[in-house]
Structure 1
Amino acid sequence: MPTALIADDERLMRDQIRLALAEAWPELQIVGEAKNGDEAVEMAETLKPDIAFLDIRMPGRTGLEAAREVCQHAHVVFVTAYDQYAVEAFERGAVDYLMKPVEQDRLARTVERLKARLVEPPPDLNQMLVKLAASMNGGTQKSYLKWIQASVGNAIRMIATREILFFTSDEKYTRVQTEEFEALIRKPIRELVAELDPDEFWQIHRATLVKVDAISAVTRDERGHLMVSVRGNPEKLEVSRSFGHLFKQM
């Protein structure tokens, strides 16, 4: 039976990929699950899977960095929430990709490609990976998150950033608020600031990010502090002095 490794820093995402693969390719045996790029490399060296499903953004080695070593043993499929990373190189090259959330139709096409490729040794991807990493890290157009992977109860939910009103953090979790529901992630605000388009989301407090076009009003409370109101939610978000300049022309 063909074997595979799944690497993603979110357990619920690993679960989703495993369940989707069980439906699309029942014969495929999942021999390992890694929660970061370093574990993925170690598991690939030990378990020698035929295929590795690698999240592009992981702690330690990124998926691209891990792929340079993993491709010595396995055919690589990248899994990503960054739609601009699903570039032409994936389509025409010897590596495939899946967008989060993983759709069964797209996965079925990937499975068919993998079945055809398994009759040959994994290709050398190093040159392509170097070019791809360079375009991601130093390209003229930076890619930003289009989906947030969040926990709603015991389930995983992929939330499009266009649907998010704001993020607020405490010491442990970050709340993701939409007009219809709220969800939790462990990613801190300081990381989200670097991964979200600054033209779409403004940081207004060390613990708060707000979607610009969701702002319905900016007022002052009895203390003289700026407070932001957003459409579809009664909560008011405080603006700290450090970010008050954002609203001087509003």
Structure 2
Amino acid sequence: MREQLRARLHEVWPELQIVAEAGNGIAAVELTALHHPQIIFLDIRMPSQSGIEAARQLLGQAHVVFVTAYDEYAVQAFEQGAVDYLLKPVDIERLRTTCERIRQRIAVSSQASTIRNNVNRVNDASGYSNPQTASHNEQIMQLLNQLSQHQQPKRDYLSWIQASVGSSLRMISTREILFFQSDEKYTRVQTDTTEVLIRKTLKELEDELDPDEFWRIHRSTLVRVDAITEVVRDFRGRQLVQLKNHPEKLEVSRNHSHLFQQM
């Protein structure tokens, strides 16, 4: 997801310099202290420390844009709040709008800083503070508290697949699975070294698997995201996914081509 966001940011805001990337909330706070960025794109659900917890520590240090796959309640909360948000997978036009808003906010902040510095030079003992900034931070803190109260507990996603092979039962970790592909009666489970068939439908699997780990790229195909090495186009213009340690290419349907919009 970070790679996808980086590619789309480069497309809509090529002048933007990405100074660091973090894999969790703790690293995000530490890297912010090190690099002092103007903008932070922050996923809500992260290991070690959530985006909500990280945002509380980062309040007032940068313009925060939340990236979320949350439900309708959270979207409504963001719409009424003082921060920008993006839904996963990130739509490039929505990202373009968000970046334009950030540009405007940075310009306003720069003007306010100039005015504040001028006022401080006139009366540096007045204890002057910017009430608009304090109000903005208060709005953000209220939003974070609101999201914390309604934050959905982390689901226990499927981590093992049971498959009957002859007279035995095979246990396959989802971390080993490259993709699932279904036909009318069975679903094919493909790993680096083996292929088995199960009777669980693709719809059932999609509901039980972590959506950050497995994407539906076709009505008949679910693929593990970190198994993808590249996406290419064939002579007919179709997007085809190439996987690690597997020669077969998987077609991306038109309905799911938005997952790879930068192509």
Q: Name the TM tier (shorter chain).
A: 0.5 to 0.7
Partner of 2:42: 54
After TM superposition, give the deviation of residue 46 of structure 1 in Å.
Answer: 1.2
| Amino acid of the structure 2 residue aligned with 1:127 | Q
Is the alpha carbon distance of 1:113 and 1:175 closer, same or farther for their aligned partners in structure 2, counting shifts above 3 Å? closer
TM-score for the superposition, normalised by structure 1: 0.53
Match of 1:101?
Answer: 89
Q: How has the CA–CA distance of structure 1 residues 85 and 58 changed in structure 2, closer, same or farther, with 3 Å as cutoff?
A: farther
Question: What aligned pairs does 1:35-184 form with structure 2 within 5 A after superposition?
Answer: 35-84=23-72, 86-119=74-107, 120=109, 123-124=136-137, 125-136=140-151, 164-166=203-205, 179-184=219-224
Please state which structure has a larger fraction of its residues in strand. 1
Given the two structures, how large is their TM-score scaled by the length of structure 2?
0.50
* 8 Å contact kept, 1:55–1:79: yes
Can you give the 5+ residue segments of structure 2 that lack an aligned partner in the other structure? 111-132, 157-174, 179-201, 227-263
Q: CA deviation at 1:151?
A: 11
Aligned equivalents of 2:25 and 2:46: distance in 1?
6
User: How far apart, CA to CA, are the structure 2 residues paired with 1:183 and 1:54?
Assistant: 25
> C-alpha separation between the residues in 2 aligned to 1:114 and 1:151?
40
Structure 1 residues 53-80: Cα deviation after superposition (integer angstroms, max 9, x where no partner): 0111000110111111123311111111
Post-superposition offset of 1:107: 0.6
Does the Cα contact within 8 Å between 1:45 and 1:70 map onto a contact in 2? Answer: no
Contact 2:74–2:147 (CA<8 Å) still a contact in 1?
no
Contact 1:79 1:97 in 2 (8 A): yes
Tell which structure's C-alpha radius of gyration is larger: 2
Identity of aligned residues (%): 44
Secondary structure at the aligned position of 1:91 is classed as helix
Runs of 5+ in structure 1 lacking a partner? 1-12, 154-162, 187-250
Cα pair distance change 1:181/1:39, threshold 3 Å? same
